Amino acid sequence: MKFSIITPAYNMDRWISGTIESVLTQEGDFDIEYILADGGSTDNTVNIFEEYRSRLERGEIPVRCNSIVMKSFSEKDKGTSDAINKGFAQATGDIYS
């Protein structure tokens, strides 16, 4: 089973690390597709997400489930629900959250 987890964000660099870490530490017999739906942040939100993705791909972050794939996009949106809907449109999981 694959879970697609979408995090909508806009200028959230102060809080995004905690959110990412809560996803990356999930444990169980499932796959995770983690999508950052960024609304065009002007801070380091996307850079922080991409650094975590690089660390994950280099094997520096332990994976406690079957697999984790991180994806992101950054574009203007019409708010949180629009960002989430854009994330759902890209999601390929069996279950979305």
Amino acid at 55: R
pTM exceeding 0.85 = yes
Burial of 59 (0-12, 13-18, 19+ CB in 10 A): exposed
What confidence tens digit (pLDDT) does each residue in 54-78 have? 999 999 999 999 999 999 999 999 9
What confidence tens digit (pLDDT) does each residue in 1-32 have? 999 999 999 999 999 999 999 999 999 999 99
Structural contact between residues 36 and 7, judged by C-beta atoms closer than 8 angstroms: yes
